[in-house]
Each structure stands twice: as structure tokens, then as C-alpha cells.
């Protein structure tokens, strides 16, 4: 058990496939409370990542770095710097740790610092802050992921484009939380990491 | 969706090429980036660089305002999507003359974060970078707990003033101080008759009925604060001026610059009818603009509607900066 | 029909008031006429006057091109309806400096007749008047037995060249001779994605399906020569350049000015994508424009589409006139 | 029998009423082969004429002049100068003649000179050139008016806006011919002139 270059790449390719499959759904979620591009943004980025990773990097750190730089330079919008920062922090942390829980915790800290969002602001931070402790406690389940994503529905957005809607942002799942949900699902489905 | 394009995935690079090839006297492409800079590089020698940018679809903003006396460079993100840090960084690097670079950012999560990361990259390269985040759209409630207000058409005035100062040799610190002073004086509010259709999604951001309008929309078809039946131009003016006045308390002893901005699909005829009513309404406050522009400056693709910006000229020098000649595609 | 107006019957006077009040530094209203003239009257002293005009709905044409170095006055008829002779005459009289006045007329029955009658009125007042009838639209068959071709966006180049000449002190006869020489070198052709809706009738001039375009439309939603399914921008460029080339035989040893003109509702993004493809297509003929403009110059209210004008610069001086600085709202 | 200030004004007011009543129809005809404004143009002009004539001029010549100047300065487009010229020529002729046939003949000559159109060019000239001889021969009837107007339907336009359509202008009645038809109808209905 433990993170390797191979299972890390499997995880990310699985995430990439989920994004591609749900591209339209993510954009529809974003149309309701944002500008309708989240699926397209993530798809553009993850296609580029999978493409880059087809030449296998040597180390786990190199894989994380590669993902980070690719997302940062292809996604744009709000999700680009956030996912980019997440993987950049994992790259840094991976120099001293290969514990997935610790890595994800570093990523979450990076996301919060980059975007200034706190839990209950109706952003991807909501999903990450619920699920990272579950990973650390070896308790991540599909149910927990689904409920963390669904829980964003009733919140009023305080950060990101949805915040301009105020109260009217209620009743819609946050698109970045949904895509983050896919990242944790992909992790759960990848043999040997957790 | 009926548009004069080739592949929706290529609209931005094709547009950028079209701009620099049509107007080589003003702008040139920055290598390996969807970004443009002044063609007349000599005009920047020894000056602070002013870099702006954001998602595309707001043409002539931003590239149309690159040129002598205004922006040094503009970064063109995907449609309605903020540009990536590497692109912004490429623009910073291309225009830096050792005097530092000032970034004009519109207040969207994405823009703020991507420009911040670009700044970090410039820091590592020892390029001095400062920035301002424009948040002129009063349609959104202001609050320190949220993202705050959006940056919209009023950004044009920020570009013009900082561009003139840089041209006149102001230092990075002077520009930074002026930007901070200018910012709270710019207020904007919009009304839409129809939303924009993004070429990639092929769908409009929202749908208004044949007799409906919406107040307070953003420049990416973000919904506004109220939807109602279409009204005469006079009444639209009353609503928008009313909102602006609540914020800035129009005062006949003060000077103002005004921008009546077409959102893309609204004919100039309608913009000038609106302007006529606007000047009547301002006269009720005993206010006559010291500077005025009417036209498509900060568009939202094919959205129909108008935004109204009022800028209080709190410093007499600003009027001079607004009137200073420039060489750009669109000012 | 959703428009930012008050009463459809008052759109023209309200628009004219809006224009002169928004841009008093450039234009001023001519008393008792829906017409504007230069604010800087001194700039006309001792010079031949250049007067243009026609129906309204083509903004920024015509009033947006009144100012130092370009038009002396512009007459604003009802929407898509040529102005009456008394209005045209008022403009002639207002700008005449004893050197005579030159009229730029677009080839429509109404314009030709109304301007002719105004000329008769000026004759009676001993004001020397000459004129040119612009007929650049190649969509229509040319024939001496019919009305002939329409005057459309290429008129912009005529305005600019004659305006520059007048500013430089050319005589009425010199301007008349130049106009005759310029005329056959200007050719235009358009493609529409949707027709304009006249505020008075409230109906579009024609209706295109969601995936249809029409080649060869006029600027008052006159139908064109072929309707077909929407094509990529590249293919629209091929069709339009092909038609123009049939007329003027593009030749790499000659110089050309190009105007890519948005019809009103078409975003600049699309106009620049079109321009990019256009420059590729012209390169196939080994032609690179010596002068180029892209934007909304001769619009047709809220029509979506683009017109393409190619102007053969048969006299080197013309390029200088095109580049000569002006002070107008919209050049 | 003969033209008087009173029956001339009756004729014109009757024409004005017909224009008002058929404003939309005239514009619809113009939408098919022109720019859809003929009804609005004529209505704007004839309203102004009726308004002007509410203060009765002294002489027949003054009435014609008043009509001409008002049409010229309010209608615009192609029909303004054409109808304006027609009445201006009638004003001139009325100095030496009060024969309606001769007056209308002078008007027709003016229209042809102003617009350069000949019969069969599908313009108002078609209706005038058929009906003026009928007036002169004291043979004007409703049937002849209707058939003169209807005859423009199958022509291909050579002058005016409809000429841009070439062959496609066939199959539609010329709007200016229709409005001219109303002028002759109104004349026919006015007691004492013919
Ligand atoms: N300040 C922020 N902190 C954390 N997450 C954010 C922030 N702003 C936006 N997001 C996330 O980004 C998502 C939107 O991403 P995307 O649509 O790709 O970018 P944009 O909003 O620029 O169009 C939101 O659903 C939210 O989860
Ligand atoms: N050259 C001409 N000679 C005679 N009649 C003409 C000419 N041009 C146009 N017309 C008439 O004018 C009518 C159109 O008038 P109107 O619609 O008011 O003006 P416009 O064509 O300028 O919109 C046509 O139906 C035709 O009868
Ligand atoms: Mg989005
Ligand atoms: Mg976006
Ligand atoms: Mg007309
Ligand atoms: Mg007409």
C-alpha cells in the first residue's frame, strides 16, 4: 500500500475520464449559478494533463509538478489556479511525505490560501475540508463523497462567481465541489493508494 | 447559435491574430501567448508598464486599448475565462523596462487568482509588480465577507488614467497611489435586453422574454437584481441613475466623467437616445459631465443592453489624463 | 421588438440631440433641422464644405464622421428614409464659406432626388454645389437602364478622402475631380445573419432561419442574391472576396485599403476572426492591405452580419488622405 | 364643374383619409419589394398636409403650393420628392389653367423628370401615365384605376428600391402605384372636379 508513480497516474487518468464524461453536467451546474464553463475549463485542462502524462515522469514529485503546471497553464478561470495550487502543494509536500492524507491536507491549505474561501462559502473548499479528514482516518466512502457534494446545494455562496447571486445561489450544487467530488471518487476507485 | 467563426475552440487565437494583423501599427502579438503589446516599443522605454486582461468576449476591451498613452499589453483568456498565469507573466515580462509593471485586474475569483500567481512568477524574476482590483459594478451588494463587487466597464477609465500617467513618466508607486485614489470614484450599473451566447457552450447565459429586461447583469451574463417588462429609455435611465446616486450622491459642485457603454448588440441609435435622456436626468441634479463617451467599449459578445458608468473626477489632473491623446484601435 | 427608445416616432430627433449633447467638442446641431455640423467652425473657414447624409439607422454614419478633417455636416433622415431637401439645404447653407459645398450621396432613388432638390435650392441662393453618387455595392447588377448599384459602407472612404482634401484647401473642382476618380475604385459586398428591425414598423426586413445566412443584402435589409446554410468564416470570406475579385481583379502590384464593417449586432470578436481569414485569403493573391479598418462603421440598426469593402488606392496621395488625423466621434 | 379651392381641399383630405386607412397595407407592399416604410412616409406627409390646409389658402395655386412644400419637407424617401414635384408642377400650371387634366399632365411630366422613370419601370409612373389620359378624356373609372394599379404586379422593377431585386420584384404590386391609385380614387369620388 502506498503512492507510486503508476497508481498516481491511474488516479489522475480516472479523474480525467470522469471529467470528460460529466463535462456537460458540470457546465450545466455552472450555468445555473456561474458562467457555464466549468466543465469545459476542467476538460481542457485534464485532457492536456493526460496527454502530458503519457510520457511517464520519474518521480511522484515530478508527476504532481507536471499536473500542477499543466492545469495552471491551460484551465484559467477560478478552477485553474485552485486545482493548480492544490497539485503544486502536493508536489512540494511529496518531497518529505508519501502519505496521501498529508498530501491532500497540504493541497487543501493551498486552496484556502489561494482563494480565501472557508467552509460553508459554497466552494470546492466544502468538499475538500470534509473529505480530507476522512482520507486521513482511512474512512473515505462513496456515500461520504456524495453527501459532501450534495451538502453544497443549500448553502449561500460567499466566494466565486456564484456569490453575485446572494440568496439565489441556494438550491444548486456548486460545480467546483462536484468536480472535486470526482477527484475523490477516482481516488477511492484506484487500487493501492488509500 | 449563428456566428461568424470557424471552430468554437479556436475563436480566441484567431481573433488575436486578426487584431494584430489588421492593426499592426498599434499592436503586435507576444510570442507563445494569447496576448498583445504595443507595436511602438520605443514609446515604452523607461516607462512603467500597464498590463490588463481577462476573459475574451469584451472586445474592444482589452486589446483595443493597447497603444501609446494607454495600455502596454493585454492578455486574452478564453471566452469569459480569465487567462492563465503563464500568459499574464509573459505579458509582464514583455513590457517590463526595469521600472516595474502595474496590473489592472477586474474583481473575479479567477482573474484575481491568476494575476496573483503571475505576480508571484514575476517576483521570482525580480520584476516589480503592483496591482489594483477594479470592482465598479454596484449591482452586487458590497461585503468584506464575500467576493465583493465585479469589475466591469468602469475599468476603461482606470486604464486611461494609469496609461496617461505611465506615458508621462509616473513611477510605479505614483501609479499605485493614483489607482487606489481613482478606484472608489468609479461606479457602474447595467441593464440587459438579452444575454450573450458563448460560442463554446452555444447557449445564452439566461433567457429573457420578448418584452422583458433585467437590471444589474454582469458582463458574462451573470443574472442581475430585477427582471421586469421593457420600459421607455427615460425610465431605464431613472432606474440606473437612481442606483448610482444612492452610491455616490451626485453633487453639482463636483466634476464627473460618464461612459454610456453598449453591450454588443445594441445599436448606437439606442445608446444616443439613452444618452439624451441621461443628460436630462443628470441636469435634474444640476450635473453636466465634464467628459463623456458613448459606444461599445466593454462588450459581452452579442448581449443587448447598456451599462452606465459615472466617475467622480476627484482630482483635476484626472480630466487631463482622460483627454490626453492616445494611439489605440478603440479609445 | 425590444429596443431602448421612448416613442418610435421620435427616435431620430432624440438620437441627434443625444449625439450633439454627448460630443459637443465635435458636433453641434443645425438649427431647425435634424442635421449636425462641426462644432469647430473656424476649421471650415475658407474651405469647401463636405456634406453627407441619408436615412438614419447607420450610426456612427453619418454624424459620427463630422469633424475637423472629415465631414462638415451630416443630415439625418428618418430611419432608413432619405432626408428632405429643406434639411439638406439647411446643412449646405450652414457650412458654405463661399468656396462651395460638395455633396456625398448614396445611390438610392430617394437620396438622389432629395439631394438634387436641395442642390436646386442652393443654386437659387448662389451657393456652388457639386456632388457624387456613391454606388459601391456589387451585389446588384450594374445597368444604365435601372437604378444601378446601391451606396453602402465604401462611402466611408469617400468621406475620408474628400474631407482630408477639403481640409488641405482643395477647391470645389479639385474635390469633384477626385471624387469621380475615387468612385470606381470602391467596391463592397455584404453577408447577413439576421435583418434589421425598424423601430417604426417593429418588424424585421426579412427573416432568416436559425442556420441561414444571406449574401448581398443592402443596408436597409434589402434582400441579397443568395440564401444558404451558415458556413465557417473562412468560406464566407471566400465567397465575398471571390465576388470582389471578379469586379476588380486583385493585383499584387496595386495598393488596397480594406474595411471590414460590422452591421450592428455582430461582435468585434467575429469581425476579427473574419479579418484573420480575409488576410489569409488576400495573401493568396499576394495582396497585403496598405490601410485597414475593422469595426461598426456603416451599420444597419441591429442587423447581424459583415460587409467587406476593398478600395484600390489608384493614387498614392489617397493613402495620405486616409491616414490624415481627424477629430470626429467615430473614425 | 371645375376646380375650386373647396373641392380641391376635399379631394386632398379624402386622399389623406385613404392613406391613413391603408397605411399598414402600403407598408406591407413596400416590405415585399422595398424597405417597408411607404405607408408611414405618406401618412406622415398627408397628416401634415391636412393639418396645414385646415387654414384655407386663398387660391388654387396657393393650395397646390402648400401641399407641395409640405410633402417635400415631411415625407423624405423617394415618394416625398416625387409627390412634392407633382404638386409643385400643378401649382405652376394652375397659374394659367384650371383644367384638371392639364394639371395632372404637368404633374406626370414632373414626376418623370424628377425620377427618370418611364412606363413599365414598375413605379408610380405606370399608374399616372395610364390614368392621366383617362382624366383628360373624361373617362376615369374605378375599374381603370384598379387595373392600372394591378398591372404593376407583373412588371420587373427598373427604378427605385425594388429594382435591386431584379426578377424577384415580379408578383408584387408597386407601393407607390397603389398610393397613386388612391389619389385618383379620391379624385373620382370628389364632386365637381372631373
Ligand atoms: N475563491 C474561491 N475559493 C475556492 N473555490 C473557488 C473560489 N472561487 C471559485 N471557486 C470554485 O471554482 C468553481 C468555478 O470554476 P470555473 O467555472 O472553472 O471558473 P470561473 O468561475 O472563473 O468561470 C466554483 O464552483 C467554486 O467551487
Ligand atoms: N425613380 C423613380 N421614379 C418614379 N417613382 C419612383 C422612383 N423611385 C421610387 N419610386 C416610387 O416610390 C415608391 C417608394 O416610395 P417610398 O417607400 O416612400 O420611398 P423609399 O423607396 O425611399 O423607401 C415606389 O413604390 C415607386 O412607386
Ligand atoms: Mg465558470
Ligand atoms: Mg469562467
Ligand atoms: Mg425608405
Ligand atoms: Mg420605402
pLDDT in tens, D154-165: 999 999 999 988
| CB of C64 closer than 8 Å to CB of C329 | yes
User: How many CB atoms lie under 10 A from the CB of residue B124?
Assistant: 9
Q: What is the pLDDT of residues A22-46, one digit of tens each?
A: 999 999 999 899 888 899 999 999 9
Chains A and C touch (3+ CB pairs under 8 A): no
For the cut 70, the answer to whether the pLDDT of residue C28 exceeds it is yes
Q: What is the set of active-site residues of C?
A: 58, 220
pLDDT digits (tens, 9 = 90+) for C93-145: 999 999 999 999 999 999 999 999 999 999 999 999 999 999 999 998 777 77
The neighbouring-strand residues paired with B131 are B103
Residue C311: which of C140, C139, C157 has the closest Cα? Answer: C157
Rounded average pLDDT over D71-81: 96
Chain-chain contact of C113 with D81 (C-beta, under 8 angstroms) = yes
Q: How far is CA A17 from the centre of its chain?
A: 14
Which pTM does this prediction carry?
0.95
- For B195, the closest chain A residue by CA position comes to A35
- Give the mean pLDDT of chain C: 96
Residue intervals of chain C classified under CATH 3.30.1180.20 are: 185-318
Torsion angle defined by CA atoms of residues C152, C157, C161 and C167, in that order, rounded to the nearest 10 degrees? 80
Q: Are C303 and C264 in contact (CB under 8 A)?
A: yes
Q: Given the DSSP bridges, would you call strands C73-79 and B49-56 parallel, antiparallel or unpaired?
A: unpaired
Spell out the domains of chain A, with CATH numbers in brackets.
5-189 (1.25.40.340)
Name the phi and psi angles at B53, rounded to 5. 160, -175
* Mean pLDDT to the nearest integer, C194-210: 89
Q: What pLDDT sits at residue C117?
A: 96
Q: Which of B22, B79, B269 sits opposite C292 (nearest CB)?
A: B22
Is A144 within 8 Å of A194 (Cβ atoms)? no
DSSP state, C102?
A: E
Q: How far is the CA of D64 from the centre of ligand 3 (A)?
A: 68
Asked whether the predicted pLDDT for residue A165 surpasses 70, the reply is yes
Share of chain C above pLDDT 70, in %: 100
Question: Which regions of chain B carry the CATH code 3.40.50.10440?
Answer: 10-134
Q: Is D39 in the pocket of ligand 2 (CB under 6 A)?
A: no
Into which CATH architecture does domain B185-318 fall?
2-Layer Sandwich (3.30)
Cβ(A104)–Cβ(A112) under 8 Å?
no
pLDDT score of C1: 82
* Atom 8 of ligand 2, residue of closest alpha carbon: D160
pLDDT of residue B204: 87
Q: How far apart are CA C331 and CA C160, in angstroms?
A: 9
**Distance between CA B205 and CA B197 in Å, rounded?**
6
Taking the alpha carbons of B146, B149, B150, B155 in that order, is the dihedral positive or negative? negative
Q: Closest to B15 (Cβ–Cβ): which among C79, C273, C302? A: C273
The SS3 of residue C138 is: coil
Where residue A1 falls among pLDDT bands split at 50, 70, 90?
low
Mean of pLDDT values over A100-114: 97
> Do C233 and B4 lie within an 8 Å CB cutoff?
yes
pLDDT tens for chain B, residues 1 to 331: 899 999 999 999 999 999 999 999 999 999 999 999 999 999 999 999 999 999 999 999 999 999 999 999 999 999 999 999 999 999 999 999 999 999 999 999 999 999 999 999 999 999 999 999 999 999 987 777 778 899 999 999 999 999 999 999 999 999 999 999 999 999 999 999 999 998 988 888 889 999 999 999 999 988 889 999 999 999 999 999 999 999 999 999 999 999 999 999 999 999 999 999 999 999 999 999 999 999 999 999 999 999 999 999 999 999 999 999 999 999 9
User: Alpha-carbon distance B300 to B295, whole Å?
Assistant: 13
Residues of C in contact with D27 (CB under 8 A): 201
Name the residue facing B267 among C211, C293, C301 (closest C-beta).
C301
Q: How many angstroms is it from C108 CA to the middle of ligand 2?
A: 9
pLDDT digits (tens, 9 = 90+) for B118-160: 999 999 999 999 999 999 999 987 777 778 899 999 999 999 9
- Across the interface, of B83, B116, B150, the residue whose CB is closest to A76 is B83
Backbone phi, then psi, for B284, in 5-degree steps? Answer: -60, -25
Q: Do B210 and C2 touch (CB under 8 A)?
A: yes
Q: Does the beta-carbon distance from B82 to A77 stay under 8 Å? A: yes
Ligand 5 centroid – CA D37 distance (Å): 5
- Please choose, from the candidates C169, C26, C35, the residue with its C-alpha nearest in 3D space to the C-alpha of residue C95: C35
Query: B–C: how many Cβ contacts below 8 A?
Result: 179
Q: What is the DSSP string of C251-310?
A: -TTS-EEEEEEE-BSS-HHHHHHHHHHHHHHHHHTT---SEEEEE-SS--TTBEEEEEEE
The candidate with the shortest Cα–Cα distance to B261, out of B298, B224, B235, is: B298
* DSSP-derived pairing of the beta strands B35-38 and B27-29: antiparallel
Residues 212-241 of chain C with CB under 8 A from chain B are 213, 230, 232-234, 236
Mean pLDDT confidence for C48-68: 98
Q: Please write the tens of the pLDDT for every residue from C3-26.
A: 999 999 999 999 999 999 999 999
Give chain D positions within 8 Å (CB) of C116. 81, 114
Ligand 1 center–CA A29 separation, angstroms: 12
Closest atom of ligand 1 relative to the B113 alpha carbon: 1
Which chain C residues touch D159 with a CB distance below 8 Å? 109, 146-147
pLDDT reported for residue A166: 86
Question: What phi-psi label fits residue A77: left (phi over 0), alpha (psi between -120 and 50 degrees) or beta?
Answer: left
Out of B62, B159, B220, B249, the active site residue is B220
Nearest CA in chain B to A75: B84
Is the pLDDT confidence value at D119 over 70?
yes
Residue C240 burial class via C-beta count within 10 angstroms: exposed 0-12, middle 13-18, buried 19 and up: buried
D145 in contact with ligand 2, CB cutoff 6 A: no
- The CA distance from C286 to the nearest CA of chain D, in Å, is 33
Query: CB C205 to CB D81 under 8 A?
Result: no
Q: Is B220 known to be catalytic? A: yes
Q: Quote the minimal CA–CA distance from A186 to chain B in Å.
A: 25
* Closest residue by Cα to residue B329 from B25, B88, B8, B6: B25
Is the model's pLDDT at C175 over the cut of 90? yes
Looking at residue B146, its pLDDT comes to 79
Judged by CB atoms closer than 8 Å, whether chains meet at A36 and B147 is answered as: no
The pLDDT value recorded for residue D36 is 87
CA proximity to B103, closest of B62, B45, B143, B67: B62
B265 and chain C in contact, CB less than 8 A: yes
Classify residue C132 as exposed, middle or buried by CB count within 10 Å of its CB (0-12, 13-18, 19+): buried
* Shortest CA distance from B21: residue in chain C: C276
Mutation test residue for ligand 2: of C109, C114, C116, the one with most atoms within 8 Å of CB: C109
Strand order in the sheet with C186-194: C226-229, C212-215, C186-194, C304-312, C256-262, C291-295
CA of A36 to the centre of ligand 3 (A): 5
Label each residue of chain B as H, E or C.
CCCCCCCHHHHHHHHHHHHHHHCCCCEEECCCCCEEEECCHHHHCCCCEEEEEEEECCCCCCHHHECECCECEEEEEEECCCCCHHHHHHHHHHHCCCCCEEEEEECCHHHHHHHHHHHHHHHHCCCCEEEEEECCECCCCCCCCCCCCCCCCCHHHHHHHHHHHHHCCCCHHHHHHHHHHHHHHEEEEEEEEECCECCCCCCECCCCCCCEEEECCCCCCCCCCEEEECCCHHHHHHHHHHHHHHHHCCCCCCCEEEEEEECECCCHHHHHHHHHHHHHHHHHCCCCCCEEEEECCCCCCCEEEEEEEEEECCCHHHHHHHHCCCECCCC
Look at residue D1 in the predicted model and tell me its pLDDT: 61
> Is the beta carbon of D126 within 6 A of some atom in ligand 2?
no
Across residues A90-110, what is the average pLDDT? 97
CA distance D145 to D151: 10
Cα(B224)–Cα(B214) distance, rounded to whole angstroms? Answer: 6
Q: How far apart are the first and last CA of chain C?
A: 30
Number of the ligand closest to the Cα of C55: 5
Residues of C in contact with D174 (CB under 8 A): none
Class of domain B10-134: alpha beta
Predicted local distance difference test score (pLDDT) of residue D12: 98
State how far the Cα of D102 lies from the Cα of A114, in Å rounded to an integer: 90
Task: List C261's β-bridge partners, or say none.
Answer: C295, C307
Return d(Cα D193, Cα A183) in angstroms, integer: 92
- Closest Cβ opposite residue C117 in set D35, D72, D168: D72
- B143: nearest CA partner in chain A: A158
Amino acid at each position: 500500500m502506498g503512492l507510486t508513480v503508476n497508481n498516481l497516474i491511474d488516479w489522475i487518468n480516472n479523474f480525467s475520464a470522469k471529467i470528460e464524461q460529466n463535462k456537460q453536467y458540470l457546465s450545466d451546474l455552472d450555468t445555473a449559478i456561474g458562467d457555464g464553463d466549468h466543465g469545459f475549463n476542467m476538460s481542457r485542462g485534464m485532457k492536456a494533463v493526460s496527454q502530458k502524462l503519457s510520457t511517464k515522469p520519474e518521480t511522484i514529485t515530478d508527476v504532481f509538478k507536471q499536473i500542477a503546471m499543466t492545469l495552471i497553464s491551460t484551465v484559467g478561470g477560478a478552477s485553474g489556479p485552485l486545482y493548480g495550487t492544490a497539485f503544486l502543494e502536493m508536489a512540494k509536500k511529496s518531497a518529505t511525505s508519501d502519505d496521501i492524507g498529508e498530501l491532500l491536507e497540504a493541497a487543501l491549505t493551498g486552496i484556502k490560501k489561494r482563494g480565501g474561501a472557508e467552509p460553508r462559502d459554497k466552494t470546492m473548499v466544502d468538499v475538500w475540508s470534509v473529505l480530507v479528514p476522512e482520507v486521513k482516518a482511512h474512512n473515505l466512502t462513496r456515500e461520504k463523497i456524495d453527501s459532501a457534494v450534495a451538502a453544497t446545494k443549500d448553502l449561500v455562496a460567499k466566494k466565486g462567481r456564484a456569490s453575485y447571486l446572494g440568496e439565489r445561489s441556494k438550491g444548486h450544487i456548486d460545480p467546483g465541489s462536484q468536480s472535486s467530488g470526482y477527484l475523490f471518487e477516482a481516488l477511492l476507485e484506484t487500487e493501492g493508494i488509500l | 447559435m449563428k456566428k461568424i467563426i470557424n471552430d468554437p475552440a479556436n475563436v480566441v487565437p484567431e481573433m488575436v491574430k486578426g487584431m494584430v494583423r489588421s492593426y499592426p501599427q498599434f499592436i503586435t502579438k507576444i510570442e507563445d501567448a494569447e496576448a498583445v503589446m504595443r507595436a511602438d516599443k520605443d514609446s515604452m522605454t523607461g516607462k512603467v508598464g500597464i498590463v490588463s486582461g481577462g476573459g475574451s468576449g469584451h472586445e474592444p476591451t482589452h486589446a483595443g486599448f493597447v497603444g501609446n498613452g494607454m495600455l502596454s499589453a493585454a492578455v486574452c483568456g478564453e471566452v469569459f475565462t480569465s487567462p492563465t498565469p503563464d500568459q499574464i507573466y509573459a505579458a509582464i515580462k514583455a513590457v517590463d523596462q526595469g521600472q516595474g509593471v502595474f496590473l489592472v485586474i477586474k474583481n473575479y475569483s479567477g482573474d484575481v487568482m491568476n494575476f496573483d500567481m503571475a505576480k508571484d512568477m514575476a517576483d521570482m524574476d525580480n520584476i516589480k509588480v503592483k496591482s489594483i482590483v477594479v470592482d465598479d459594478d454596484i449591482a452586487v451588494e458590497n461585503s468584506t465577507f464575500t467576493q465583493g463587487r465585479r469589475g466591469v466597464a468602469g475599468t476603461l477609465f482606470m486604464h486611461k488614467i494609469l496609461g496617461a500617467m505611465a506615458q508621462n513618466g509616473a513611477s510605479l508607486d505614483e501609479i499605485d497611489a493614483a489607482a487606489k485614489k481613482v478606484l472608489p470614484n468609479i461606479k457602474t450599473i447595467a441593464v440587459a435586453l438579452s444575454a450573450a451566447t458563448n460560442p463554446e457552450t452555444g447557449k445564452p447565459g439566461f433567457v429573457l422574454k420578448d418584452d422583458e429586461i433585467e437590471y444589474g447583469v454582469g458582463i458574462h451574463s451573470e443574472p442581475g437584481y430585477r427582471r421586469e417588462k421593457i420600459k421607455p429609455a427615460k425610465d431605464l435611465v431613472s432606474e440606473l441613475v437612481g442606483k448610482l446616486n444612492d452610491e455616490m450622491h451626485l453633487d453639482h459642485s463636483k466634476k464627473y466623467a460618464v461612459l454610456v457603454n453598449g453591450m454588443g448588440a445594441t445599436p448606437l441609435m439606442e445608446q444616443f437616445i439613452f444618452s439624451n435622456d441621461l443628460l436630462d436626468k443628470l441636469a435634474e441634479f444640476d450635473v453636466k459631465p465634464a467628459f463623456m463617451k458613448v459606444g461599445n467599449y466593454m462588450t459581452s459578445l452579442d448581449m443587448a443592453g447598456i451599462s452606465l458608468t459615472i466617475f467622480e473626477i476627484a482630482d483635476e489632473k484626472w480630466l487631463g489624463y482622460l483627454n490626453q491623446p492616445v494611439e489605440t484601435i478603440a479609445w
